[in-house]
Amino acid sequence: MHAGRIRLLLVDDEKGYTNVLSNRLGKRGIDVKKAFSGSEGIQILRSEDFDVAVLDLKMEDMDGIDVLKIFKKIDPRMKVIMLTGHGSEKAAREGIALGAYDYLTKPCELDDLLAKIREAYQERKRI
């Protein structure tokens, strides 16, 4: 990892999507660590620090809302952006009420996600 780069935890059980997104974010100067399940994301967060997490709402092993609650207990300062499929914005709004920074609907444009990640990073630095 490089000093001054955003440390991002990307949690999504769609491996192909996660790998492609991770590569694209990495090429734009973000240090990305991937987790392919909620429980893997929790394990990684217990051993490493991150500035921002991008968390899928619907995963096979755990609900994203449950993962968010655990993330906020482990690191209340880390900003969490929820990624939600079409039609589950209500759950994403529940995530905001529980401390998520914001949410985006899948599929989202890379530029929109990058802007949201950078915005969340700046917000974390202010705290």
Whole-prediction pTM: 0.94
> What does the angle CA 114 – CA 124 – CA 72 come to, to the nearest 5 degrees?
100
Q: What gap in Å lies between CA 104 and CA 27, rounded to an integer?
A: 21
Q: Identify which of 81, 70, 22, 77 has the alpha carbon closest to the alpha carbon of residue 51.
A: 77
Q: Identify which of 71, 22, 24, 27 has the alpha carbon closest to the alpha carbon of residue 51.
A: 71
Q: What gap in Å lies between CA 17 and CA 59, rounded to an integer?
A: 13
Cβ atoms within 10 A of the Cβ of 117, count? 25
Q: Residues 86, 88, 90, 95: is their CA dihedral positive or negative?
A: negative
Q: What gap in Å lies between CA 28 and CA 62, rounded to an integer?
A: 29
Question: Dihedral (C-alpha) 34, 39, 45, 48: value to the nearest 10 degrees?
Answer: -60
26-37 pLDDT, tens digit per residue, is: 999 999 999 999
Q: pLDDT truncated to tens, each residue of the chain (127 aa)?
A: 445 799 999 999 999 999 999 999 999 999 999 999 999 999 999 999 999 999 999 999 999 999 999 999 999 999 999 998 866 778 888 999 999 999 999 888 999 999 999 999 999 998 7
pLDDT of residue 39: 98
